[in-house]
Chain A
């Protein structure tokens, strides 16, 4: 007979589900600033999950990780993105409406298919351990696929970059549920590395915006063959 999940497992599953919903929200949003807000909210959920795990398993390192992750992903990364992309010469610049390669409804439907595929693939792995809630891991798998979907169906550099950052959030979720004991120094190094990647992404986005006077990638077709 199935038993009810404990507080930690229930919290992990609920937070994972909320993160997946926010991922769909990013897919649907037409404005960069709204996508960045959803990304910040998704990152905040990761920090909350780290705190829940730290309390449940008495892992004090995870409190530090939660604080660091929150400072970087909830504050620093959105700030960097807004500063580099949110100073438009005109009002239209941050908008990426119309950058869908599929209609929004079709994109969401396709992403539901991707999410289901990821969910069942990771669920079928049967990675069981006292520390690893299988449902949250399967949802992390679904998020990985949806974030790839976001990078593919949106034809603008901002959405593609946010797709990559949310892919990193999906991996962070997977890491928290199956590898919560990873040494803090390595987790910190991952986060620092992410910050460097964000700065480089933002610089290249800015360069593209300046050169093309648009965030669209529709004209990036010069190099073929």
Chain B
């Protein structure tokens, strides 16, 4: 399996370098090939990783937990690579080359993170995701993008500074037991268990939750997230939400394993419960009253990261299995929702939901698919999130956390109403007064029509002419932007209705590893 792991680490990086010099169409093809190949390689890795940890050269390691996160990232990388081919078709060559360079390197860093055996290398991989994705957020070169990128890089880097401090304290704790030449490898730290000193482990865990939590989007350190998700190009928004947040959560899970082994699960579970409830509460309230469709989905991401934190805090095997499933299902659901929203922003030339009307008629494929994606995000059966949230709630009730489980159900329901009320207006309200409503919304939001037209960059500007004349013609901007949404929804149905046997084994093993009973 060493060859497969090396191929996963080489493929996106090589694709990124190749794209920097390639013509736009070739760059798109290379990226699609890299995305599909990476996903295939991850699939090849899963059976072995599910049945035991694979370690190479002291620095590479794949086990069931990393397999879950690799699967989520690999799938989304492939889907979004296909989507990007349609999204970028009218963009300038130079922009496309820069985009694909950053996009592939971003995917590479996210695929590398779960393959690192050491907390130090994990931190480095997550830091690389930050610097690369900050440039991708800024790539649109608008006022909003520049502001979002600056806030993102500053806040996320400060958070990662705390995560680095957590890593230093984890080293200190490990060195007391494993010797000064410990390389912060995760497995020996977990094995050292209760022999690790308590205070540095407690401190390391809290700093890790706060530090990596900044990148996960846990409240109150989430403030960069809605800005970056809304101002980034849509393919980047999809990767940020579906894969990057999960990758950062993976880092928290690794610290959780160490903390639970050293301290018992009480302290780390309480800390995660507090952050999870705060995130879910704020996000479920903030989805109401959002005017920008990508901002709406960004707050939904905060909500789902809160659900993950709460799920881990329950500690029951079924809840942890639900968390693992939720990581994959959220990647597919949020990917499909962002990609669907991206079709709307291209079609209407704005991100303001008040302008988006009659979506079911004007976007005969993307309209219904976007509605299904929102249903999937809202945990409707038969989609994967229904199954994962059901398992998390069942785990909460089973472990005696009745109040937290009840709060989770109530707040998820509140968030559903917020999402549904916004999206049904976009899809079902007739287009007649959309222009006036949009102008009012734009004024209320403090953005003029010019800003609205620049909402998703130059691609939007190129396709916004029909709106200027007041007539939008039914039809899809590009088939490339529909197929990956369909693929995500199909994956969600598979995850919800009948997960394959190998996947079930992977999830069960991953849950057992997080629980400390492999």
Same complex:
yes
**Cβ of A175: which chain B residues have Cβ within 8 Å of it?**
168, 171
A144 close to chain B: CB less than 8 A: yes
Whole-angstrom distance from the CB of B83 to the nearest CB of chain A?
24
Are B127 and A186 touching (Cβ within 8 A)?
Answer: no
> Per-position contact with A for B122-136: 1 when CB-CB < 8 Å, else 0?
001001101100110
**CB-CB contacts below 8 Å: A69-95 with B:** none
Contact with B along A172-198 (1 / 0, CB 8 A): 001100111111001001100100110
C-alpha gap A170/B151 in the complex (Å)? 22
Residues of B within 8 A of A182 (CB): 120, 168, 171, 184
Chain A interface residues (CB < 8 Å from chain B): 125-127, 129, 131-132, 144, 148, 151, 157, 160-161, 164, 167-168, 171, 174-175, 178-183, 186, 189-190, 193, 196-197, 200-201, 203-204, 207-208, 211, 217, 220, 222-223, 225
- Contacts A193-B127, A197-B127 known; 7 new A-B pairs at CB < 8 A: A167-B158, A178-B171, A179-B175, A196-B128, A204-B135, A208-B146, A211-B146
> Which of B161, B183, B290 has the most chain A CB atoms inside 10 A of its CB?
B161
Of A179, A189, A190, most buried by chain B (CB within 10 Å of CB) is A179
Given the interface pairs A148-B158, A181-B175, the reply to whether A223 lies near B199 with Cβ below 8 Å is: no
Write the nearest CB–CB distance from A101 to chain B, whole angstroms.
15
Distance between Cα atoms of A217 and B155 in the complex (Å): 14
Neighbouring B residues of A125 by C-beta, 8 Å? 199-200, 203
Interface residues of B in 122-175 (CB under 8 A from A): 124, 127-128, 130-131, 134-135, 138, 141, 143-144, 146-151, 153-154, 157-158, 161, 164-165, 168-169, 171-172, 175
Cα A203 to Cα B141 in complex, Å, equals 12
Residue numbers in A under 8 Å from B432 (CB-CB): none
Instruction: Report yes or no: A197 in contact with B157, Cβ–Cβ below 8 A.
Output: yes
Using A148-B158, A181-B175 as known contacts, say yes or no to A127 and B200 having CB atoms under 8 A apart: yes
**How far apart sit A144 and B159, CA to CA, in the bound complex (Å)?**
12
Choose among B158, B164, B181 the residue that contacts A190 (Cβ–Cβ < 8 A).
B164
B180 adjacent to A223 (CB under 8 Å): no
13 A-B interface contacts by CB (under 8 A)? A132-B172, A164-B161, A171-B161, A171-B164, A179-B171, A179-B175, A182-B120, A182-B184, A193-B124, A197-B130, A200-B135, A201-B157, A204-B149
Q: Which residues of A contact B147 (CB under 8 A)?
A: 220, 222-223
Tell me, rounded to whole Å, the shortest Cβ–Cβ distance linking B131 to chain A.
Answer: 4
CB-based contact B146/A181 at 8 Å: no
Tell me if B63 is interfacial: C-beta within 8 Å of chain A.
no
Task: Indicate if the CB atoms of B121 and A223 lie closer than 8 Å.
Answer: no
**Cα of A182 to Cα of B164 in the assembled complex, Å:** 13
Q: Tell me the B residues contacting A by CB distance below 8 Å.
A: 118, 120-121, 124, 127-128, 130-131, 134-135, 138, 141, 143-144, 146-151, 153-154, 157-158, 161, 164-165, 168-169, 171-172, 175-176, 180-181, 183-184, 199-200, 203, 226-227, 230-231, 286, 289-290, 295, 446-447
Contacts of A217 in B (CB 8 A): 150
> Given the complex, which residues of A lie within 8 Å of B141, measured CB to CB?
207
CB nearest to A131 among chain B residues: B180
A178 touches B127 (CB 8 A): no
Task: Given A125-B203, A220-B147, decide whether A189 and B165 contact each other with a Cβ distance below 8 A.
Answer: no
Check B199 against A126 for contact (C-beta < 8 Å): yes
Partner of A186, one of B118, B148, B226, B289: B118
Contact A211 B131 (CB under 8 A): no
The 8 Å CB contact of A204, one of B150, B181, B286, is: B150
Smallest Cβ distance from A65 to chain B, in angstroms?
Answer: 14
- Which residue of chain A has the shortest Cβ distance to B152 in the bound complex? A204
* Nearest-Cβ distance from residue A158 to partner chain B, whole angstroms: 12
Contacts of A225 in B (CB 8 A): 226, 286, 289-290, 295
Partner of A189, one of B120, B158, B231: B120
Residues of A with C-beta under 8 A to B153:
200-201, 204
Q: How far is the CA of A223 from the CA of B289 in the complex (A)?
A: 15
Report chain A residues within 8 Å CB of B144: 222-223
CA distance A161 to B161 in the complex (A): 13
Distance in Å: Cβ of B285 to nearest Cβ of chain A: 12
Contact partner of B158 (CB less than 8 A), chosen from A164, A174, A178, A200, is A164
- B130: chain A residues within 8 A (beta carbon): 197
Which A-B residue pairs are the 7 nearest by beta carbons? A181-B180, A200-B131, A223-B227, A179-B171, A178-B172, A186-B120, A220-B147
In the complex, which residues of chain A have a beta carbon less than 8 angstroms from the beta carbon of B183? 183, 186
| CB of B164, distance to nearest CB on chain A (Å) | 5
Q: CA A125 – CA B200 in complex, angstroms? A: 8
Pair B150/A220 contact, Cβ less than 8 Å: yes
Known A-B contacts A190-B124, A193-B128; the reply to A208 vs B150 at CB < 8 A is yes
In the bound complex, CA of A181 to CA of B131 (Å): 28
- Give, as a whole number of angstroms, the nearest-CB distance from A39 to chain B: 15
Contacts of A127 in B (CB 8 A): 172, 199-200
Q: Provided the pairs A186-B121, A189-B120, A203-B135 are in contact, do residues A160 and B154 lie with their beta carbons within 8 angstroms?
A: yes
> Can you name the residue of chain A whose Cβ is closest to the Cβ of B183?
A183
In whole Å, how far is B298's beta carbon from the nearest beta carbon of chain A? 11
Bound state CA distance, A201 and B131, in angstroms? Answer: 8
Residues of B with C-beta under 8 A to A211: 143, 146
Q: How far is the CA of A189 from the CA of B59 in the complex (A)?
A: 13
A183 to B174, CA, bound (A): 13
Nearest-neighbour CB distance to chain A for B103, whole angstroms, equals: 16
B259 to chain A, nearest CB (A): 16
CA separation between A178 and B227, bound complex, in Å?
37
The interface residues of chain A lying within 8 Å CB-to-CB of B200 are 125, 127
A56 to B157, CA, bound (A): 33
* B138 and A207 form a contact (CB under 8 A): yes
Distance in angstroms between the alpha carbons of A203 and B131 in the assembled complex:
11
CB B264 to nearest CB in A, in angstroms, measures 20
